[in-house]
Amino acid sequence: MTSKFIIFLITIYGCLLLGYGARFGFPKLREKSRMLTRAFLIFLTPLITLNSFWSVELRGLQLLTMPLISVSVQALSLLPGILLSGLLHLNRKEKGSFVACSMFSNTGPTLGVFLCFILFGDQGLYLASWYITLYLPFYYFVGFSLMSSITGEGDNRLRDAFLDLVRNPVSIVPISSMCIGMGLNLADVARPVLLNLLVTKFLAYLLTASFSFAIALGLNFHRSLKYVKHSLWISLIKFVYNPLMSLLLMWALGYFRMANVLPLQVVFVESFMPTAILAVVLSKIFRLNEDLANAAWILTTLLIVPVIPAIFYIQGSL
């Protein structure tokens, strides 16, 4: 377990430090952060997504409900996000960023899926990928709708959300890979062994390391320091409220009665994930408070380090 923890730290936080250092050694690279992030998502994720959906075994009601738990936890996070934004007396732009960062967690291949792969191997990778199936549709249609209501920008933004979903390579490429993989799975087509080896021995690590490096190029700690208090409240949602909601949902759906505990462990691990970079993207799109969003992303991502040993210990006893 110690070796897995070290691999996780080196892959994610080692590359974060490397990328942040590159900001100063190679200043022109700072402008490439967004471009590199998009490129890695478009060109590295398709094979990982294809392999995962081609491989996952969907047997039993509980497995079929995993994606529903994912979006349910996000939806339930809206309540404390709105309540806390009112108690903190946030203005409209701050409220939008606070709610977005409360709802959307980094459950994807750059953190949540990767951690499940480190912990549980190939099956963890496949189940975690299945868990986030509905993430992008929920993000575009619910996330954009919600930000539209907060900003008052209305139907134009909803139309933009749909067009972005079907035109943007960052969304359409993983969705297409997902559909192709699921189609091959249902058609019972044999999966090439070489594909699985490429993904699990190389691409899963490369995507996470590359993404961490690219994100770090665009970080600006100074402007985000004033929102540390807000980020700590969001951390409570991520590391206390969300896991409790996940456990409650799994109990209601019978996960604790399953002979195979892996789906239970995967959902539990995913429930602890920090704020997603897509929450920061929402703040940019709707001209909300980007400094608050960046602060929440940075702090919750850093705080997952001391949280991970607790995740390792608790999931082993489930």
DSSP 245-266: HHHHHHHHTTGGG-S--HHHHH
DSSP sequence for 143-160:
IHHHHHHHHT-THHHHHH
Fold for domain 2-24+33-316?
Na+/H+ antiporter like fold (1.20.1530)
What is residue 157's predicted lDDT score, i.e. its pLDDT? Answer: 57
Could you tell me which of 291, 274, 275 has the C-alpha nearest to residue 283? 291
The size of the chain, in residues, is 318
Question: How far, rounded to the nearest angstrom, does the alpha carbon of residue 208 sit from its chain's CA centroid?
Answer: 12
* The two three-digit tokens of residue 267, written as one number: 């959902």
What is residue 79's predicted lDDT score, i.e. its pLDDT? Answer: 94
What is residue 153's predicted lDDT score, i.e. its pLDDT? Answer: 57
Tokens 């949280």 locate to: 307
What is residue 267's predicted lDDT score, i.e. its pLDDT? Answer: 95
Per-residue pLDDT of the chain (318 residues; tens, 9 = 90+): 567 777 777 887 888 888 888 888 787 777 777 677 777 777 877 888 888 778 877 666 667 899 999 999 999 999 999 999 999 999 999 999 999 999 999 998 778 988 898 889 888 988 998 898 888 788 877 887 788 777 665 555 556 666 666 677 777 887 888 889 888 988 888 888 888 788 877 887 888 788 778 777 777 667 777 899 999 999 999 999 999 999 999 999 999 988 889 999 999 999 999 998 788 878 877 788 888 988 998 889 888 888 887 887 777 776
Q: End-to-end distance of the chain based on CA atoms, in angstroms?
A: 16
What is residue 71's predicted lDDT score, i.e. its pLDDT? Answer: 94
Region for residue 273 given its phi and psi (left: phi exceeds 0; alpha: psi -120 to 50; beta: otherwise): beta
Tokens 């990328």 locate to: 19
What is residue 58's predicted lDDT score, i.e. its pLDDT? Answer: 67
